[in-house]
Amino acid sequence: MLMKNHVKDNTKATFAEKVGYGFGDMASSMFWKIFSYYLPFFYSNVFGLSLAHAGTLLLITKLYDAVSDPVMGMIADRTQTRWGKYRPYLLWCALPFAICGVLTFSTPDAGYGFKLAYAYVTYILMMTAYTAINVPYGAMLGVLTPDSREKTVFSSYRMFFAYGGSFIALAIFEPLQKFFREMGTGVSASVSWQYSMAVVGVICAVLFVLCFAMTRERVRINAPVSGDSSILRDFRSLVSNGPWWILLGAAIGILLFNSIRGGAAAYYFKDVLGDGAIFTCGIYLAVGEVANMLGVALAVPLSDRFGKKTSYMMSLLAAAVLSLFILFMPATAAGMWTLLGLQILISVATGVTLPLLWSMFADIADYSEYRNGTASTGLIFSSSSMAQKFGGAFGSALILWALAGFGYDTSEAAVQTSSAIGGLKAMMSWIPAAGALLAALVVAFYPLTSSKMAEISAALAERRRSSEERKND
């Protein structure tokens, strides 16, 4: 059985460690947001895939990626190095992560069949690299500190830097493309996407290495003992964990919300707002990331005041209600400024949710140890990543399939039908709002309240104290 053996360590985590941990998700989020917001548009309008083929591609590859997450979680749980169990993957996978991103945004000069196969291979490689580095990174939250509140602080640093990275990536991505296109006549639109991704990839690789160098694993987890642990036992513990199922459903709902409204934005700006837009899609998305950072900063004080569960639900309900107003925004200057204001408010609300979600997954690892004697931290955190992939997979695929159903025309100079315009408005408003409402409904049944976690933490502290005393006798 994977037993969590907490070696006494009274040294408090430093500010530098929290910043270093934040660098990891800063790197992950730079890629994740570009892939979530721009990859559907890239495949359909630049790479040259049909909407139906692009939608199926995103669904199949991300479902594969989601299934691979628990496998990576179990591998990470069983890793033993002088650097710890999870940190080494940040160093080992930083360069492959960057290279796979560039390959995914490269367009081969070949026939349609080869390009479709190339898109499948490169995106599967990209998602494999993402899993190999992001699942261990997420699991690190369970071993950076044994304190539940401190986990929320670490998680807030993580999400603050994640949104900061997303802001940087979204703010520079379109200007980078423009810069490379204007370098000379030999740089096509597709090549400018490739070069832009290369710049982002280098930044991400450096951030992962910094995250490795600046953090440490304070909570030590023993390797599996022969005859006392099995993959089957790990899975039995996981699937019988009720709070895990609840958070899994909530995570899928909020990822549907984020991926649909984010992925539809590029199409919305091109075909609903058009040339009359007073700011670009990149500015709209980047402003949202700054507002997300404000929401992250509010997560700890809100959870201290209302508890994690209540704060999470209130934020989801606010995001859902505010999103509905986008359906009625006119393509006028006043309407566009109102749209930007709604983006700020919605993003503040969603910014509160993600650090709370990660912190609650860390609490579930403690709950698993309390109930079963094994935390399976990597497996539990990989389930959160799996939920992200499921939500992102269905969100990205739904965007493309819905556009095809609404009769969207991918040609550059197309004039869209009223059906296509209505579909774009729906994907920016009530469709993602339904995902947020689903997440709020599911998390209403989450049982690990602040008082319950205080009880669990006290029991675990006593159990660990007794274990240490027995070892010392």
- List pLDDT tens digits, range 162-214: 888 988 998 899 899 989 988 765 678 889 999 999 999 999 999 999 999 99
Tell me the pLDDT of the chain averaged across its residues: 86
For the segment 144-158, the average pLDDT, to the nearest whole number, is 82
84 phi, psi to nearest 5 deg:
115, -165
How confident is residue 384, by pLDDT bands cut at 50, 70 and 90?
Answer: low
Does position 14 have pLDDT exceeding 90, yes or no? no
pLDDT at residue 117 in the model: 96
Residue 378 has pLDDT above 60, yes or no: yes
φ, ψ for residue 310 (rounded to 5)?
Answer: -65, -40
For residue 313, the Cα-to-chain-centroid distance in whole angstroms is 19
Domains of the chain, earliest start first? 15-219+230-465 (1.20.1250.20)
Q: Provide the token pair at 93.
A: 């996978």
Look-up of token digits 């390009």: 115
pLDDT of residue 138: 86
Q: How far is Cα 342 from Cα 412, in angstroms, rounded to an integer?
A: 29
- 389, pLDDT greater than 90: no
Split at pLDDT 50, 70, 90, the class of 10 is very low
- pLDDT of 234 reads 72
- The pLDDT assigned to 319 comes to 96
Confidence band of 221 (pLDDT split at 50, 70, 90): low
